[in-house]
Each structure stands twice: as C-alpha cells, then as structure tokens.
Amino acid sequence: MCGRLGGVTVATAPTSPRHRVVIIGSGFGGLFGAQALKDADVDITLISRTTHHLFQPLLYQVATGILSEGAIAPTTREILARQKNVRAIAGEVTDIDLSARTVTSEILGRTTVTEYDSLLVAAGAGQSYFGNDHFAQHAPGMKSIDDALELRGRIFGAFELAELASTPAEIERLLTFVVVGAGPTGVEMAGQIAELAHRTLQHDFRRIDPRKARIVLLDGADQVLPSFGQKLGGKARRQLEKMGVEVRLGEMVVDLDATGLTTKDRDGNETRIEALTKVWAAGVQASPLGRMLAEQSGAKTDRAGRVEVAPDLTLPGHPEVYVVGDLMALDKLPGVAQVAIQGAQHAAKAIEARAAGGARSEPFSYFDKGSMATISRFSAVASIGKVRFSGLVAWLLWLGVHLLYLIGFKTRVTTLLHWAISFVGRGRTERVVTEQQVFARNLIHRLGRAEAYPSLPRVPGDRGELEEGGDDRGQERAAG
C-alpha cells in the first residue's frame, strides 16, 4: 500500500471545538472503541494501516480455501459510513508525541499529523519468531490477509508440485506440511490442512494420493492447547491424531529453510523434517508503538513488548491516553478479541466522560465469556467458566459465536453458505492462487522495499538466498 511518491506533509488543522479523539487501529479494539463512541459529543479520527477490519480468528479458513478474504475483512469505511462523528484515514502511524499530543502517520510518502485530546491505541501485535526472523521467509505467520493468501498459495501449490514430482522422496517432501505452534491457531490450521488433504482433494489428482499427505503439528510445550487445560488439550490431541495429524510435543524448531526444518527435543536430540510447506503459528510480538509509548511515559513493557497500563487502562502519567487489546499488559489478561473489545468499550466510556468535562478512572474489569477452538468439522473444544466440553455441541457453539461476531448481514449469509459447502459437502470455493500471493512478500524484501510495506513480516538476510536460487520458487522448479 505504501511507497515513495513525494514528501508532502499535511498537518490536519483541527478546527472543531469538540473533544478530539484519535484511535489507532481498525481491529477489535479500534473498531469497537469507535463504535462505542457513536453517541458521544466528540470528533474521532481512526487511523489504520489497513483499510479493513480483520476478523483474525477465521484467517485459517482463508488460508485453506473455505472463505474469501472479503468475508473476514470488511472495509472499515463502510462499517462506519453512518457514524458521522468518525473519519477513517489510512496510514502507518510512525510517531506518537505524548507532550505535543499528536499522532504522525504516513502513506505513499504523505505525512499526516493529527492532534488529539484523547488517544486510544489499539495497534495489536505481530508474529514473533523468537529472534529467528529469517524463518519468516519460508514459514509465513498467520496475522494478516497477506499471510493467509500466501499460505493458501503455498498449501495448494504444494499439491500441484507433488503431482509433477518424479521420486517418492520428492513427493513426500512436497506433501509434508508442518505447523509450528499447538495453540488454537496451530490446531485449527493443522486440522483444516488434514481435512483438505483427506476429503476435499481426494479425487482431484491422478498421480498422487493427497490422502497420503503428512501433516505435523509441533510445539515446544508438553501439550496441545495449553490454555484449555490438560483434559481438553488431551481430547484435542486425540482427535487430531485420529485425523492423521502427527503431533510432536516438547520439540523446538532450531533451524528452518526452504526444504524443511530441524527440531531439538529436551534431551538435545535433533530431528530433520523435510517439508516444503511450513506455517508459523507460534508467538506474538506487540506493535513497536508500545515501545514508543513506554519510552516517553516511563511505562514498562513485558517480554512480548506489551505496555503495562494502569488499572483504568491509561498510560501511567497520561490520563488522556488509553492502550487496549493485544498491545496492553494488565493482570496477565490473554490476547483475545474479548479483552480488546471490552477494553475499548471501557476506554470509550472514560473518554466520553472526559469530553463532557468530567473525570472517570474506574478500574477495568474483564468478563471472561470463555474460549473455543475447532479441531475439524463437527469437532471443537470449549471452556466456559468452570464448564469444559467438546465434540459437536462445542462446534455448533463455535459456529454460532463466530457468525455473531462477523460484521454485516451479507457476510453472515455468505459465510454460512461457504461453511455448508465445506463442512456438509467436500468442496472449497476459494481455491484461487495467484503468483503474487506466493512470491510478492519475498520479492519485495529482495528489492529492498520492505520499509515501504510496514505490515510485511521482516525477513532479514533474504537477499542472498533468493539470488542464489535457494528460494521456494527455485526449489519448485527443480521439483518440476
């Protein structure tokens, strides 16, 4: 989206006498924060690097061909079209000046400075490769639409290349899919790749049998879905194994390249897995805006770069600045959508009170509505209060809740139809793959243009590898 077209600087001149609110981010925190202020006597500017609101929990369904990207990423501008007190602008926030009370954002070489009276920061988190950022080149994460489309291309592309391969070893490498991270995202991804290979694609090829695909789910922890407890984690593991997923626990990835990865267990034994397709579903790193806020305010950040906020979600010493969602650290609250939504709604109430000339600094109290993860069609695990359950009931509940939180009637209807096609039938309607999906991210890095595309995962040191022909494309050509 960004590039260098010129150095125009536009300072938004706030002429409104009303309280000015700036919101950073159009995710769960940013969007729900803006909507909670719909009746407030304020002028809101919502700044986001993406022009859509992304429903991250269903990214894996875009990656595996069930849903289109539009179904999970409606345009923010359209969602907020009728809310007259908000203006959405596109841009990467590059600076927040707490003393001047300004936010600087950039897009296509155009710089915009926006003044605020109250600031809500909901910039979320990106993928963490635990210091091995070079893994990103061959193992995309699962944080954005770009990630999901690239993964779709890599997953479906692997079957295409296997159909052309000439030796059993080559076919095995091309049909091995490794998902790193056995949290909800990794479990959902591994389950869907298994369903794709075993059901959807079973009749589509002539020389290979997609049902022979090897799907590996691995994690350094001792159990699958640690946040769901041992019982549900055990059930999820058994269900995955029943579906043919190989679950490897207590193993860390120590090396990863174009053709596979190496793991090390606790006894120091190393195992090499030959696999073209790797998915990184482990670890989060908070937006760099967190560090920026911490440096100026003296707030602390935790290991993942989240900002430690006061109990009322404000930045220490700055009652006009709220940090919510995945970027905030408070009472070990998890990085889930409800924390972001409820946090943003709490901050919105306080901002409304400030705008009316009052002060409100009530502590934020989170209401845990429970958590769910799907394993396959008709099978999920759910943990609500003290109640834990699994199977079809949990899956139906998962279905209902996700439909409820998808934005827009049209989206809900089309999503339901796509689910019927994929879960009752065998089909997947979103199997289109373009060259751009698979190759653009790495080529942008190769061209040294990564800085112009801030949402791309970092891939340091990728240049040489691509030039030496060691990229995925080179491998795939050799395979063909």
Ligand X SMILES: Cc1cc2nc3c(=O)[nH]c(=O)nc-3n(C[C@H](O)[C@H](O)[C@H](O)COP(=O)(O)OP(=O)(O)OC[C@H]3O[C@@H](n4cnc5c(N)ncnc54)[C@H](O)[C@@H]3O)c2cc1C
Select which of 106, 150, 188, 251 is catalytic: 188
Q: How far is the CB of 409 from ligand X (least distance, A)?
A: 22
Q: How far is the CB of 50 from ligand X (least distance, A)?
A: 4
Q: How far is the CB of 289 from ligand X (least distance, A)?
A: 5
Please pick, from the candidates 29, 140, 186, 233, the single residue that binds ligand X as defined by CB under 6 A.
29
Q: Show the binding pattern over residues 256-295: x = contacts ligand X (CB under 6 A), - = does not.
A: -------------------------------x-x------
Number of residues that bind ligand X (CB under 6 A): 33
Which window, 24-32, 152-160, 406-414, 456-464, contacts ligand X (CB under 6 A)?
Answer: 24-32
Q: How far is the CB of 76 from ligand X (least distance, A)?
A: 8
The smaller minimum CB distance to ligand X, of residues 57 and 153, is found at 57
The smaller minimum CB distance to ligand X, of residues 178 and 208, is found at 178
Q: How far is the CB of 75 from ligand X (least distance, A)?
A: 12
Gap between the Cα atoms of 353 and 401, Å rounded: 31
Q: How far is the CB of 157 from ligand X (least distance, A)?
A: 21
Q: Is 183 in the site for ligand X (CB under 6 A)?
A: no
Which window, 305-313, 323-331, 419-427, 439-447, contacts ligand X (CB under 6 A)?
Answer: 323-331
Please pick, from the candidates 182, 340, 459, 466, the single residue that binds ligand X as defined by CB under 6 A.
340
Q: Is 49 in the site for ligand X (CB under 6 A)?
A: yes
Please pick, from the candidates 2, 19, 26, 475, the single residue that binds ligand X as defined by CB under 6 A.
26
| Token pair listed for 43 | 């002028």
Q: Is 185 in the site for ligand X (CB under 6 A)?
A: yes
The smaller minimum CB distance to ligand X, of residues 57 and 65, is found at 57
Q: Are 121 and 324 in contact (CB under 8 A)?
A: yes
163 part of the active site: no
Q: Is 186 in the site for ligand X (CB under 6 A)?
A: no
Q: Is 305 in the site for ligand X (CB under 6 A)?
A: no
Q: Is 342 in the site for ligand X (CB under 6 A)?
A: no
Residues lying near ligand X in the complex (CB under 6 A) are found at: 24-30, 47-50, 56-57, 59, 92-93, 122-124, 142-143, 184-185, 287, 289, 325-327, 335-338, 340
Q: Active-site positions?
A: 188
